[in-house]
Amino acid sequence: MINRIYRLMDTKRIEMVQRELAFDEDMIITKPEYVSVCAADQRYYQGKRKRKILREKLPMALIHEATATVMYDPQGKLPPGTKGVLIPLVPPNEESPVKANYNRNSEFMSSGCDGFLRDYIAVPRGGIVPIAGDYSAVYVFSELTSVMFNALEAFEKACVTSKTSFGIWGDGSMGFIAGLVLRHMYPKSRIYVFGKTARKLQRFSFADEVMYIDNVPKGLYIDNCFECVGGTGSESALRQIIELTSPQGCISLLGVSEDEISVNTRSVLDKGLKLLGNSRSCAEDFIKAVDLIHGSTVCRKYLETLISGMIEIRNESDITSLFEQDILNDFKTVGKWLI
């Protein structure tokens, strides 16, 4: 079977190539339905990764946030038409004490191998989480939600302090979902969101307080914090987080920066803080994410507000429009796959 793949060939240049679709009895053939652009995809699309990395990775199909429809299951366990969330992580076939999303032998679609911009996607049997009952575009945010559940797993293992207050730095999509998950998992805790853009901060109505990063009241201390800024703002955000986190608190890092940043290690040591690195997620995190979205009407309503734009994708130029529009949007840009 010939499959069409839409690969990024160079900065802002996407082309279609045709390849044989290979699969076996342990794989499921799916077709994308909703896709969403991630900041990592944009760094590739805009050529903001280092040239050495771009030379190594490209050409490559982007997108690692997607829902799909099952087209064919060789074992007949998932009937055609089943909706599901695709998992971009392909773990190695080996026993390891290292979680799969940190295992160097794992593959991650849209980072080293083709992502979900394909007419058909053959995924491992464990590479799709079926969606029962209701179904809508908001399930495309399961990947980003799963990343937060991965971070919470690490946080729960490391935390030795109170969990009465949480701080979130970052008024973008990751900060929004981090706050939403924290509100669900710790309903009695106080949630503070720190940002710098009024039109973004007003979306965080589930938070107890939203604050501008340059207008923080004196004497405020927070038990544990989550950094969701990334990019050039990571350094100043982390500096403020270290200042406001209570002694022995956890600081979970979720933002990605291309450049090295400085960290005030003296304050980290003086306060006994824990810095927790978090990246990507595993199947079990996806299951938790889908369960949360499925089980909470409130969560689904909030996630609907995260969609800044919806674009119908019928050809290659529409894929380019998806990425170009996303550059202008405050939050998430979603594509409805109609190719």
All domains of the chain, ordered by start, with CATH? Answer: 2-130+306-337 (3.90.180.10), 145-277 (3.40.50.720)
Q: What are 173-196's pLDDT values in tens digits?
A: 999 999 999 999 999 999 999 999
- Is there a contact between 177 and 171 (Cβ–Cβ < 8 Å)? no
* Nearest to 152, CA basis, from 293, 250, 39: 250
pLDDT given for residue 145 in this prediction: 98
The continuous run of DSSP H or E covering 289 comes out as helix 283-295
Cis ω before 32 (30° cut-off from 0): no
Residue 56: how many other CB atoms lie within 10 Å = 11
Bridge partners (DSSP) listed for residue 307: 332
The continuous run of DSSP H or E covering 328 comes out as helix 316-328
Q: Phi and psi of 335, rounded to 5°?
A: -110, 135
Please, is 298 exposed, middle or buried when counting C-beta atoms within 10 Å of its C-beta (0-12, 13-18, 19+)? exposed
> Whole-number mean pLDDT of the chain?
96
SS3 at position 53 = helix
Residue 43: pLDDT band (50, 70, 90) is very high
Give the percent of the chain with pLDDT over 70: 100
Tokens of 220: 């405020």
| CA pair distance 127, 123, nearest whole angstrom | 5
pLDDT given for residue 86 in this prediction: 98
What's the one-letter identity of residue 249? Answer: G
Residue 243: how many other CB atoms lie within 10 Å = 13
The continuous run of DSSP H or E covering 117 comes out as none
Residue 259: pLDDT band (50, 70, 90) is confident
Cis ω before 217 (30° cut-off from 0): no
Sign of the CA dihedral running 288, 302, 299, 68: negative
SS3 at position 271 = helix
pLDDT given for residue 144 in this prediction: 97
Q: What are 95-149's pLDDT values in tens digits?
A: 899 999 999 999 999 998 999 999 999 999 999 999 988 899 999 999 999 999 9
Mean pLDDT value across residues 210-229: 96
- Is there a contact between 63 and 115 (Cβ–Cβ < 8 Å)? yes
State yes or no: pLDDT of 161 exceeds 90: yes
State yes or no: pLDDT of 338 exceeds 90: yes
Mean pLDDT value across residues 191-215: 97
- Is there a contact between 215 and 194 (Cβ–Cβ < 8 Å)? no
Structural Rg of the chain based on CA atoms: 20
Region of residue 133 (left: phi > 0; alpha: psi -120 to 50; beta: else): left
Residue 1: pLDDT band (50, 70, 90) is confident
pLDDT given for residue 231 in this prediction: 87
Going by DSSP bridges, is the β-strand pair 112-113/107-109 parallel, antiparallel, or unpaired? parallel
Q: What are 278-333's pLDDT values in tens digits?
A: 999 999 999 999 999 999 999 999 999 999 999 999 999 999 999 999 999 999 99
DSSP 76: S
pLDDT given for residue 31 in this prediction: 98
Tokens of 320: 């380019």
Residue 257: pLDDT band (50, 70, 90) is confident
Mean pLDDT value across residues 222-251: 96
Mean pLDDT value across residues 22-42: 95
Q: Within a 13 Å sphere around the CA of 189, how many CA atoms are in the beta-carbon half?
A: 22
Give the percent of the chain with pLDDT over 90: 94
| CA pair distance 276, 313, nearest whole angstrom | 38
State yes or no: pLDDT of 198 exceeds 90: yes
